[in-house]
Structure 1
Amino acid sequence: MNVTYLRKRKRPRGSGLWAAYMLDTDAFGTWFYTPARSLFRGDNGEYCEMAQLGPAGPGEHCVQLAPHDGWWFAYFRQSGFLHVDVGTTPVLVGEEWTFEDLELDPFRQPDGTIGTEDWDELAAAHAAGLVSDAERAEAEDAARGLERDFAAGVEPFGRAGWDRLAAAVALGLPPLTDLGERPLD
């Protein structure tokens, strides 16, 4: 199975990098799988486990989705937590899928609680000129739309992501711990 790299960029600088198995591309976008205990590298060069259950780890199995044209990147985690980074549309650049984080983080917890974190961070980034008026409007629309989709069970947030996760875990693939010589940012 092909391994690719994913990079979440922050403004004005910084990024996080992790590896994933490329699963498939369908009507929703491109699906990736990062097994439990896989590594994530921050822009300072430090490593932690991807999709951590808590601040000290360990990481859990996680399927991710890069939509064809949406302003987000989704993470379906084995604990039942659904998290989305609102950002620019993910694109493949060389061997890396990359997107720019626009701060907002819609989520659905395993108990069904739905919300969005970091409205204050978006406001601060906008005030600092790091996020344009148009990007702010897109980010806000994306977060509100995602919350509605979570509540209504609109696919891929109904069963599709969770079914992908179960199938990926069943493959028994090893954790991805080698990020090679990829640059920090």
Structure 2
Amino acid sequence: MLNSDAGGPAVVTVCKQKLHGGRGCWQAYAVDHDADGLWLFTPAGSIFRSTDGHSDEQCSVEGGDQPGLDSLILVPDPGQHWLATWRVPERALHISIEICDWIRRGADVICFLDWELDPFRLRSGLVAVEDLDDFAEVRTAGLLSDDDAERALSAAAWAERSLRRRRAPFDERSDQRLAEAGRLGLPPLTDVPHPLDL
């Protein structure tokens, strides 16, 4: 596990920016870094903040309008166009992948631009890519260049294949990592900065 100077895991703020301008952010503990990338854990009860520039919203991470649950994120090393999230067994959605570009990667803040394609795997084993309509809309609106669209499609195809084949890191070891992080007893992260301040 990675440790901050204070002795516990460092806290990282993760910021998601939409092509149409909306933003959301949450925080996570940096629990490991290995050949796959940086592993971040967000405990149940943590807060997600979002804004469209006019109105702000707040909810539980991995909860929506319900109580939140633990989640684990993998931020791959630079050069990859994705970010993956694992959910606890109580969720039908097992793994989701954000196809994205990196805006900022610092020690305490990671910001990414959502390219709208979202490969996922359910607990049932079903694998698919969602938000194809949103991807088409941002392309039609000229918000995504042809080169970035090709990168997004290539990354989504790779992610979908990897999920189907349960190729590492999308295998059972990451579920074990999530369970281990949950046993650390880390408190929820609720002092989340406003997305426009990042």
What band does the TM-score fall into relative to the shorter chain? over 0.9
Counterpart residue number, 1:67: 76
**1:8-38, CA deviations, whole angstroms, 9 ceiling, x for partnerless residues?**
1111312110010011111111110000111
Change (3 A) 1:90 1:21: farther
The root-mean-square deviation of aligned C-alpha atoms, in Å, is 1.7
TM-superposed deviation, 1:159? 2.1
SS in 1 for 2:128: strand
Residue pair 2:27, 2:42 contacting (<8 A) in 1 also: yes
The one of 22, 37, 62 equivalent to 1:51 is 62
Counterpart residue number, 1:95: 108
Alignment length, in residue pairs?
A: 183
1:142-181 map, 5 Å: 142-180=155-193
TM-superposed deviation, 1:90? 6.5
TM-score, normalisation: structure 2: 0.86
SS in 2 for 1:171: coil
Residue pair 1:35, 1:176 contacting (<8 A) in 2 also: yes
**1:41-62, CA deviations, whole angstroms, 9 ceiling, x for partnerless residues?**
011321100012xx41111100
1:6-45 map, 5 Å: 6-43=14-51, 44-45=55-56
Tell me the amino acid that sits aligned with residue 76 of structure 1: W
TM-superposed deviation, 1:93? 4.0
Q: Distance in 1 between matches of 2:105 and 2:161?
A: 28
Counterpart residue number, 2:99: 86
TM-score, normalisation: structure 1: 0.92
TM-superposed deviation, 1:181? 5.8
Counterpart residue number, 2:4: none
Residue pair 2:12, 2:107 contacting (<8 A) in 1 also: no
Counterpart residue number, 2:149: 136
Change (3 A) 1:180 1:124: closer
Residue pair 1:62, 1:76 contacting (<8 A) in 2 also: yes
Change (3 A) 1:86 1:148: same
Unaligned runs of 5+ in 2: 1-8
Residue pair 1:66, 1:90 contacting (<8 A) in 2 also: no
Percent sequence identity over aligned pairs: 36
